[in-house]
Structure formats: structure tokens, C-alpha cells
């Protein structure tokens, strides 16, 4: 038998070639970066340079890749204020190394704002305001992103002063190589103050647009002849979007027309375009507390049910200890602009340590707004409840039938309901009840303060949140009052270190008495560490008292803890663990308080 040897020789050369290629090719984990001790900069460099996991040391293209990556590193270093940085690269022993010498980091020295078309304009931004807008301090380290973002922020500020067509040019940066400081100049064309000459509405709806037209008009915060203000545009968009009726909102300006009498003034027409969205929605949520256990929330809503903006909704909040069902009908602009009527019927059943109660009722409150933040309300309320007092061994159910007159005041300057970042929120309610077995007046008040103290790319990176809550019951103590009308505190959305309704005095069976007055106080620093994640710490205290006037800081119980926030597009999801500062026992030595309490819920605690 004769063999053809040529194909075998050919195969041997192919194998030798593959071995040679494999010998000159290497696999590395990643390039090494030397000389960068700024963690944020280092992370950016690693994410922006080429992928050096697979490369041939002999490849000519490596030189071009190295030069390109050196330029990327230099630009990134410049963006952090290292304008004198030096970058070199090597490939040695099958390893890519970038050696970076950052040198001294530059600092801000001055910010200059020049109005190119109105140099005599004296009421714009002062130097300190510019520093505040671009989120920097004098003599702080340079950040190119802050400088670039400052351009838009300056425009927004001046648009809120009436300059609708203002344009800020690309900032000019001047270096002082000796002092290692920079000066930033923004050239701004104001283009004259803008007077609103008229407003046009474009409404896209399946119903008669004339019906919803008044709803939109009543929320327009300007009138013809007013000076343009971007803040009012944003307020309008916010009001329309939070109504739940519209899926798209656009506010546009016509081209400016010079004023015939004043060269520093122009005129324009505003066009508001809105499109009706999906008017029905269903939501499902949940919560958990160590003492409250699992709770589930179901809600349904139909927006613009009558074509005039009214909202019909139903809510069912079901948990082991408490069940609430509400049917609500909210009517807007009832008799006057920003005058809203909130109607609801409700059923509530509670089976807690202190009492067992079933309640049905109805309420209607008319709220009148005054400006953006302030409103007052008054109305009527009817309740019919049957309460079993668990602290009295042989007590009969108390039937409470009464008509109440709720009176309220609300002041709110916060920027969000579920995740406030700044502002003040105050709510006070007083409801005198007239009925059987006794007349009673219940007064409550809560105030919250939110202070942003540090900003970064995540909006307000650090917010200090504080709250206080008070309550008082005014009644004839000789008359019977159902146990569920007393104040109770502790648990989720209260002093979290203690169990649900467990603040205050209790009997030997660990059943709380409740109180005729209430006082709570708390502070919670909130730190945003990324787009999605935040951390909090909290310290809270409070108690309920037998007197009808609270005694702040007397016999108070305190709790502390920390938590994680996961931020969604709607609201943060929170996970908290809380500890009591005092573990109490009954007179018989039974432990009352848990060593810790765990909470999971949606939205901030306050």
C-alpha cells in the first residue's frame, strides 16, 4: 500500500503555525493603571479605555490603541482638574501598563458672568449665586462636568427672571499655571425680557375638549401681559401631570417679537399642548413590620370620570391587625378656581392588643388653595363604630355614633410627596364630634422639615429630615370614650424602635392603655450613594400621656436604627431595622419590647 505523504506534511506546517500564533498571543485580565489615587477617576478610566483582555504583543495596531487610550486618560484627568497630567504606556512581558502622573489638581478661583447684549443689566446672578448654581465653592477642586452643567443652570435661573430666550455660550476656562487655579467665564445673551402676549390651548381627548379646558385654564399661573417665568411653566406641568389625566404635556413659545417701545423687551405667545392618557389604573403594593406583619394594598382609580377632571378611586389596605376600605370621589374647581371637594365613604376594622373595633363612615371636606403651598379646609364627617375594650375583662362594646366637623390647614413647599428632598410640610386637623356616648374634640398636627446639605450627580446627595407630631383630646372625662379614639404610637411611620402602638403605659398582659395626648419627634439623615441606592440613619422619640396636653421630652421613649433605600421611578422602597433604647418589662417580669423591629415599605418614613 502506498501513502500520499504530502497532505501529512501540510498538516504539520499548519500545526506549527497555530502553535507559533498561540505563543505570541496572550490573554490578560485588564490593563494596569498606575499613579491614580482618585477612586472615582480610576473607575472612569477603567470603563473608558480599550479592552486589553485579548491582544497580540506583536500587533502594529497596539501603538494606535495605546495612543488613543492615553488621550482618553488625559481628557478624563482634565475633567477632574488635573490639567497638567502626564500619561505614558508600555507593553512589557505580555502586560499593558499606563503610568499616570496627575500632578497638582487645579482649584476654582473666580466665576465671571458677562451679559453680552445688556452689559448694564445689574439684577442677574452674583458671583456667589453662580458658584451655588454650578454646585461648587470658592477654592474647591475643579470639576468640568459642573462647569458644563452650570451653563444650563444659569439659563434656567435667568428664564425664571423673565428672559425666555436667554442663551449661555460655551464657558471659557483660563488657567493660571503658577497658582494652579482657574477662572471660568460665561458669556450670556439675555435677548430681552419676555412679555406673554397670549396663551393657546391644544387639547387632545376622547371626550369633549371644552369640558377639560376649564381644568387646564384654572391651573395656568400667569395671565396675558405678565413677564415670562420658567418656574411657573414647571409648576403648571407638575400640576397637570400629577392630576393623572394627561400622558403628554408640552409648553412652547412662539418666536420673539421685539417690543415697539422698549428695545430690551420682546413679546411671545405660549402654546400649551396636552394629550389625555390612560384614565384607569390599578396598583398593588405591600409592606411588612415585625409587629404589624404583612400588609397588602390594592388601589383602583378612574381619572377625569366626568370630563371635568374629577377622580373616582377605591383603596383596600389589608393587614393582620387592621383592614381599611375606602371609596373616594374627588371633585376639582367646584365653585372657584383651586377649590376641591374630597368625598369618601369608608370601612375600618382593627383587632389590636388594646381593642377590637369596626367602623363605617363618610366624610366630605372642601379645600381651598391659596397660592402654590397653602390651603385650608372644612367639612362634615359621620362615624358609627362598635368598640370592644380589651383592657377591661367584662366590658361591653361601646357604640360610638357621632357627627364631626373636620377643620384643617395644610402648608407644603416640598418637591415630592413620597420622597421629599427639600421644603416644609405642615398639616393640622381639628375635629369636634357631637354624638353618643360623648362629645369629643380630637386635634392633631404634624410638621416635617427637609434640608439638602450636599449635592452631587444624584440630585441632593444628603438630606437632613426632621419631624414632630402632636395630638390632644378635649372631652368630659366623666363620660365614656371608646378605646380606639385614644392616641397610640410606635411602629412603622412612628417611633420605629418600638412595636405597633406600644409606646406609653401598659398592663400586666402587655396591652397598651393609649393616651389623651401625643408627642413625637425624629431626625433622619438620608444619603444617596448611587442612582438607585441610598442609606439612612434615624433617631426618634415619643410617648402618649394621660393628660389632654402633651408633655414634650417627659417620660419619652427613644429608638434608633438605619436602613437602605432602593429608588424607583415612582418612590423609594425602604428597608429599616430599628432598636429601642429601653427594653421594658411588666410588673410580673414579662418582657414587653422586642430587641429590634424590621420594616419594609414604599416611600420615606416621613
| Residue 19 located in a structural domain | no
In this structure, is residue 11 part of a structural domain? Answer: no
Q: Cα-flanking dihedrals φ and ψ of residue 233, to 5°?
A: -65, -45
Say what the pLDDT of residue 440 is: 93
Which of 73, 101, 129 is the endpoint of a domain?
101
Q: Which residues contact 564 (CB under 8 A, 6 or more apart)?
A: 533, 534, 535, 536, 574, 575
Q: What is the reported pLDDT for 9?
A: 38
Q: Within this chain, do residues 269 and 312 fall inside the same structural domain, yes or no?
A: no
Pair (479, 453) in one structural domain: yes
Residues 72 and 158 in one domain: no
Are both 239 and 293 inside the same structural domain? Answer: no
Number of domains in the chain: 4
Whether residue 217 is found in the same domain as residue 299: no
User: Taking a C-beta distance cutoff of 8 angstroms, is the pair 375, 402 a contact?
Assistant: no
- Same domain, yes or no: 291 and 340: yes
Going by C-alpha positions, the residue among 429, 532, 415 that lies closest to residue 472 is 429
The answer to whether 484 and 512 have CB atoms below 8 angstroms apart is no
**Whole-number Å distance between alpha carbons of 178 and 410:** 57
> Rounded CA gap, 183 and 166, in Å?
22
Q: Are residues 172 and 133 in the same domain?
A: yes
Do 341 and 452 lie in one domain? The reply is: yes
147 closest CA partner among 171, 125, 167, 116: 171
Predicted TM-score (pTM) of this structure: 0.74
Cβ contacts of 424-430, under 8 Å, gap ≥ 24: 424/448, 424/449, 424/450, 425/450, 430/406
- Spell out where 190-264 has E strands: 193-204, 246-253, 257-258
Q: Are residues 204 and 168 in the same domain?
A: no
The rounded distance, in Å, linking the Cα atoms of 531 and 458 is 6
Q: Domain containing 198: what range? A: 193-276
* Cα gap 600→566, rounded to integer Å: 11
State the Cα–Cα distance between residues 200 and 272, nearest whole angstrom.
6
- Are 309 and 227 in a shared domain? no
Quick check: bond before 102 cis, omega within 30? no
Cβ-contact 418, 603 below 8 angstroms: yes
Residue 474 inside a domain? The answer is yes
Residue 122 is predicted with a pLDDT of 58
CATH number of the domain that residue 38 is part of: 3.10.20.310
Q: How many CA atoms lie within 13 A of 101 on its CB side?
A: 5
1 within some domain: no
The low-confidence residues of the chain, meaning pLDDT below 50, are 1-11, 13-29, 457-458
Query: 344 in a domain, yes or no?
Result: yes
Residue 3 lies in a domain: no
For residues 77-104, one letter each, b for 16 or more C-beta atoms within 10 angstroms of the residue's C-beta and e for the rest, the string is bbbbbbbbbebebebeeeebebebebee
Alpha carbon 400 to its chain centroid, in Å, reads 40
Residue 130 domain flag: yes
* Whether residues 479 and 364 fall in one domain: yes
**Does 4 fall in a domain?**
no
Quick one: which of 99, 12, 11, 80 has its CA closest to 41? 80
Q: What CATH number should be reported for the domain holding residue 559? A: 2.40.160.50
Domain-ending residue, one of 42, 66, 101: 101
Helix (H, G, I), strand (E, B) or coil at 46: helix
Residue 202 φ then ψ, to 5°:
-120, 110
Q: Which of 42, 70, 101 is the last residue of a domain?
A: 101
Residues 120 and 255 in one domain: no
Alpha-carbon distance of 275 to 245, in angstroms, equals 8
Helices (H), 49-190: 61-79, 127-133, 144-159
Amino acid at each position: 500500500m502506498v501513502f500520499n505523504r504530502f497532505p501529512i506534511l501540510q498538516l504539520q506546517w499548519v500545526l506549527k503555525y497555530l502553535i507559533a500564533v498561540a505563543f505570541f498571543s496572550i490573554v490578560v485580565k485588564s490593563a494596569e493603571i498606575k499613579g491614580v489615587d482618585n477612586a472615582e477617576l480610576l473607575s472612569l478610566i477603567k470603563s473608558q479605555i480599550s479592552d486589553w483582555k485579548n491582544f497580540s504583543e506583536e500587533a502594529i495596531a497596539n501603538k494606535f490603541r495605546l495612543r488613543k487610550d492615553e488621550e482618553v486618560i488625559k481628557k478624563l484627568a482634565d475633567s477632574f482638574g488635573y490639567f497638567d497630567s502626564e500619561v505614558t504606556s508600555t507593553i512589557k512581558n505580555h502586560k499593558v501598563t499606563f503610568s499616570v502622573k496627575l500632578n497638582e489638581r487645579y482649584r476654582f478661583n473666580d466665576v465671571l458672568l458677562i451679559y453680552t447684549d445688556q452689559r448694564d443689566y445689574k439684577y442677574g446672578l452674583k458671583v456667589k449665586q453662580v458658584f451655588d448654581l454650578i454646585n461648587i465653592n470658592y477654592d474647591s477642586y475643579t470639576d468640568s462636568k459642573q462647569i458644563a452643567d452650570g451653563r444650563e443652570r444659569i439659563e434656567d435661573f435667568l428664564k425664571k427672571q423673565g428672559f425666555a430666550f436667554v442663551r449661555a455660550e460655551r464657558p471659557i476656562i483660563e488657567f493660571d499655571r503658577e497658582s494652579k487655579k482657574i477662572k471660568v467665564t460665561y458669556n450670556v445673551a439675555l435677548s430681552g425680557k419676555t412679555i406673554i402676549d397670549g396663551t393657546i390651548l391644544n387639547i387632545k381627548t376622547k371626550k369633549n375638549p371644552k369640558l377639560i379646558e376649564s381644568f387646564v385654564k384654572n391651573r395656568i399661573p400667569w395671565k396675558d401681559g405678565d413677564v415670562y417665568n420658567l418656574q411657573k411653566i414647571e409648576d403648571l406641568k407638575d400640576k397637570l401631570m400629577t392630576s393623572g389625566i394627561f400622558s403628554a404635556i408640552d409648553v412652547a413659545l412662539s418666536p420673539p417679537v421685539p417690543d415697539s417701545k422698549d428695545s430690551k423687551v420682546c413679546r411671545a405667545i405660549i402654546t400649551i399642548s396636552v394629550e389625555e392618557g390612560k384614565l384607569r389604573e390599578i396598583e398593588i403594593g405591600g409592606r411588612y413590620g415585625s409587629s404589624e406583619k404583612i400588609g397588602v394594598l390594592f388601589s383602583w382609580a378612574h381619572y377625569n370620570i366626568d370630563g371635568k377632571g374629577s377622580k373616582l378611586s377605591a383603596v383596600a389596605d389589608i393587614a393582620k391587625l387592621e383592614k381599611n376600605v375606602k371609596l373616594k370621589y374627588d371633585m376639582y374647581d367646584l365653585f372657584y378656581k383651586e377649590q376641591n371637594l374630597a368625598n369618601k365613604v369608608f370601612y375600618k376594622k382593627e383587632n389590636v392588643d388594646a381593642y377590637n373595633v369596626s367602623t363605617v363612615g363618610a366624610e366630605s371636606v372642601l379645600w381651598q388653595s391659596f397660592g402654590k403651598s397653602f390651603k385650608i379646609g372644612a367639612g362634615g364627617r359621620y362615624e358609627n363604630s362598635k368598640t370592644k375594650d380589651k383592657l377591661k375583662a367584662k366590658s361591653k362594646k361601646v357604640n360610638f355614633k357621632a357627627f364631626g366637623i373636620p377643620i384643617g390647614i395644610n402648608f407644603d413647599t416640598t418637591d415630592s410627596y413620597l420622597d421629599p428632598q427639600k421644603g416644609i410640610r405642615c398639616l393640622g386637623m381639628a375635629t369636634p364630634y357631637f354624638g353618643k356616648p360623648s362629645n369629643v374634640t380630637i386635634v392633631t398636627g404634624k410638621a416635617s422639615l427637609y434640608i439638602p446639605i450636599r449635592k452631587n450627580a444624584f440630585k441632593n446627595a444628603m438630606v437632613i429630615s426632621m419631624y414632630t407630631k402632636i395630638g390632644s383630646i378635649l372631652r368630659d372625662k366623666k363620660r365614656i370614650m371608646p378605646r380606639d379614639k385614644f392616641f397610640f404610637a410606635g411602629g412603622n411611620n412612628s417611633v420605629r424602635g418600638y412595636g405597633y402602638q406600644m409606646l406609653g403605659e401598659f398592663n400586666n398582659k402587655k396591652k397598651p392603655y393609649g393616651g389623651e395626648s401625643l408627642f413625637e419627634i425624629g431626625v433622619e439623615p438620608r444619603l444617596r450613594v448611587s442612582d438607585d441606592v441610598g442609606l439612612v440613619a434615624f433617631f426618634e422619640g415619643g410617648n402618649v400621656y394621660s393628660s389632654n396636653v402633651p408633655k414634650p421630652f417627659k417620660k419619652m421613649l427613644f429608638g434608633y436604627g438605619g436602613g437602605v433605600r432602593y429608588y424607583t421611578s415612582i418612590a423609594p422602597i425602604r428597608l429599616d431595622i430599628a432598636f429601642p433604647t429601653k427594653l421594658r418589662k411588666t410588673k410580673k417580669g414579662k418582657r414587653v419590647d422586642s430587641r429590634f423591629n424590621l420594616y419594609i415599605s414604599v416611600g420615606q418614613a416621613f
